[in-house]
């Protein structure tokens, strides 16, 4: 079993319009980057950034940090490969699940729409050591 330890390095949230509330209907454009910074047979260190921009442009949030994956090399590699018809490697969803509570708290504090727990849907490989994706995820908010 692979262990994943996520460390947050920075969080930024911005309310860009005064008339927006947590119940406002928005879509989120998501840009996520994952960069391999260190690897050995039983450990992989990834730097990540997840940016959520509301559409219309009423709010945005960014979270960045590192994820340390430890365990069997084949199991680690399996987390980097999309499964079946999915376009997102499982490691993206594992990281997003670990930072979602923080994004939820920031959204509530700023009184902006909550992001959906399942925003990350598509990933495009940019280079050998870097994965990046950008998607638009229509949501009313995470509570609906």
Lowest mean pLDDT among 61-65, 96-100, 127-131: 127-131
Q: How far apart are CA 48 and CA 46, in angstroms?
A: 6
111-124: pLDDT as tens digits: 999 998 766 443 33
Q: How far apart are CA 138 and CA 142, in angstroms?
A: 11
- Given a cut of 50, whether residue 83 has pLDDT beyond it is yes
pLDDT at 119: 62
- Enclosing H/E stretch for 102: helix 90-110
Q: Give the SS3 label for residue 44.
A: strand
- Which DSSP symbol is given to 115? P
pLDDT at 89: 83
9-31: pLDDT as tens digits: 999 999 999 999 999 999 888 88
Please provide residue 5's backbone torsions phi and psi, each rounded to the nearest 5 degrees: -110, 115
What's the CATH architecture for 3-135?
A: Roll (3.10)
């Amino acid at each position: 079993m692979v262990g994943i330890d996520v460390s947050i390095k920075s969080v930024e949230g911005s309310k860009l319009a005064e008339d927006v509330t947590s119940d406002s209907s928005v879509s989120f454009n998501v840009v996520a980057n994952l960069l391999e910074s260190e690897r050995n047979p039983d450990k992989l260190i990834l730097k990540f950034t997840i940016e959520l921009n509301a559409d219309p442009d009423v709010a945005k949030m960014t979270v960045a940090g590192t994820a340390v994956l430890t365990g069997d090399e084949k199991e680690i590699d399996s987390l980097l490969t999309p499964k079946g018809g999915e376009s997102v490697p499982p490691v993206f969803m594992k990281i997003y699940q670990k930072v979602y509570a923080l994004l939820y708290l920031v959204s509530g504090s700023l009184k902006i729409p909550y992001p959906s727990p399942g925003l990350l849907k598509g990933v495009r490989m940019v280079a050998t050591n870097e994965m990046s994706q950008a998607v638009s995820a229509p949501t009313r908010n995470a509570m609906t």
